[in-house]
Chains A and B, each alone.
Chain A
């Protein structure tokens, strides 16, 4: 019990300290996960929308795959990316292993199926409503995709948050491909794992609380932006 209470004190102290090392870890966490989510959106939005819109052979299989890959184990993705980026792997020459870029790649792979699968569902629902109008306009496939993604933007933000939650919270993949290198690839979750392994349970939990506050801040700002935007566009 005292450990849990100490954790809140630790979390408060960390937040109040503005310690440079600590802020660097927070900053890297945000940078890696936000970039990964951004990439996942650039791939997942069009991919999910395309699966929702177009009839093609194997469409059922793709949907099944997207839904299954929403639950990809981070460790497996991490291992896969590790093997690919390893000096002995196919992309070894790039020298990306143990860099933030490698962490971004791994998290983007984790998050893309989540965004694509949720996008498919959301866009399919909107397409049911819009199809008469867009087909009457004889809109080209790309214009149709663009219209649906843009008009679904408020619902899609939920998908983005789901993806961000997954990225910022996972430790398995970034630990393997990042290596938890101090001042280089250490993020919130790997720092928590490290403190736990040192037996500094209160510090570890304190970092966890900070992570939660961080996620809360990101989610809240998206929701506020959303609420303002939705009122403007009258989504109701």
Chain B
């Protein structure tokens, strides 16, 4: 990735999010730096997805700050980020057109779009499906297309919200390989998952959330060998807490 490193680190200060006067995230403090693959872990309803959306700028915090370096607001920063969702949003167009659409939105000249979309499709192993309507592709193919679509924007930060939650093992492996590719190219990975195996495979550092609170934030090795908190231990031994 050639994107200049401009927006990291991400500083989250006293972040609070409420919906319908229910507090869903409590006083989150977090500092994320470049290079590390950050995995946000936690049971369902812990607030992983909310945290991602707030950091990406799809939601506005009730209080607290989300600061990307040198910007202070989301408005500049979001153009250096991409996000892949659990259920990918597929435009009612071909796989190829899904990617050229993104390029067009990002102001890439028409003459360049085709070539770059071809390259991204090749990267995701979808060259043979370029002219297939995206909505006719399998779940795994759709998720790979979503990653290819993110790839062409050359993001500095890639958010992934449970990207493999509804995929079979083979498709999961393909998606994880692509995520590794982003990492290798220098993109900061911030991924939410509740899949412990996936977290062990991909994480450099773990943000462990439970019931809307940040419970642990540590090096992945340390977290998986011996979590510092009761909740953390319960989670990695599979005694899911509610």
Q: Indicate yes or no for A touching B, C-beta below 8 A.
A: yes
CB neighbours of A143 from chain B (8 A)? 104-105
| Contact present for A234 and B83 (CB under 8 Å) | no
Closest to B56 in A: A136
CB neighbours of A236 from chain B (8 A)? 135
- How many residues of B are counted as interface, with CB atoms below 8 angstroms from the partner's CB atoms? 24
| Contact present for A137 and B58 (CB under 8 Å) | no
| Contact present for B91 and A151 (CB under 8 Å) | yes
Shortest C-beta distance, B159 to chain A (Å), equals 8
Given A135-B58, A137-B106, A138-B79; A234-B136 close (CB under 8 Å): yes
In angstroms, Cα B106 to Cα A233, docked, is 23
Closest to A138 in B: B78
B133 at the interface (CB under 8 A from A): yes
B82 at the interface (CB under 8 A from A): yes
Shortest C-beta distance, B87 to chain A (Å), equals 10
Please pick, from B89, B93, B105, the residue contacting A132 in the complex, using a CB distance under 8 A: B89
CB neighbours of A135 from chain B (8 A)? 57-58
In angstroms, Cα B91 to Cα A129, docked, is 10
CB neighbours of B153 from chain A (8 A)? 137
Give the contacts of B40-82 with A (CB-CB under 8 A): 56-58, 78-79, 81-82
Give the contacts of B74-113 with A (CB-CB under 8 A): 78-79, 81-83, 85, 89, 91-94, 101-102, 104-106
CB neighbours of A147 from chain B (8 A)? 91, 101, 105
| Contact present for A130 and B89 (CB under 8 Å) | yes
A235 at the interface (CB under 8 A from B): yes
Give the contacts of A116-134 with B (CB-CB under 8 A): 129-130, 132-134
CB neighbours of B92 from chain A (8 A)? 151, 154, 233-235
Please pick, from B57, B79, B89, B101, the residue contacting A129 in the complex, using a CB distance under 8 A: B89
A: contact size bracket: 20 to 34
Closest to B93 in A: A233
Shortest C-beta distance, A11 to chain B (Å), equals 40
Please pick, from B78, B93, B94, B133, the residue contacting A136 in the complex, using a CB distance under 8 A: B78
Closest to A154 in B: B92
In angstroms, Cα B89 to Cα A137, docked, is 12
| Contact present for A137 and B91 (CB under 8 Å) | no
Shortest C-beta distance, A87 to chain B (Å), equals 49
A55 at the interface (CB under 8 A from B): no
A134, A143, A232, A234 pick with most chain B CB within 10 angstroms: A234
A62 at the interface (CB under 8 A from B): no
Shortest C-beta distance, A38 to chain B (Å), equals 23
In angstroms, Cα B78 to Cα A140, docked, is 13
CB neighbours of A235 from chain B (8 A)? 92, 135
A15 at the interface (CB under 8 A from B): no
CB neighbours of A138 from chain B (8 A)? 78-79, 105
Shortest C-beta distance, A236 to chain B (Å), equals 7
Shortest C-beta distance, B197 to chain A (Å), equals 27
CB neighbours of B85 from chain A (8 A)? 132-133
Q: Which residues of B contact A (CB under 8 A)?
A: 56-58, 78-79, 81-83, 85, 89, 91-94, 101-102, 104-106, 133-136, 153
Q: Which residues of A contact B (CB under 8 A)?
A: 129-130, 132-140, 143, 147, 151, 154, 232-236
**Closest 3 pairs between A and B when the two form their complex, measured CB to CB:** A234-B133, A133-B89, A234-B136
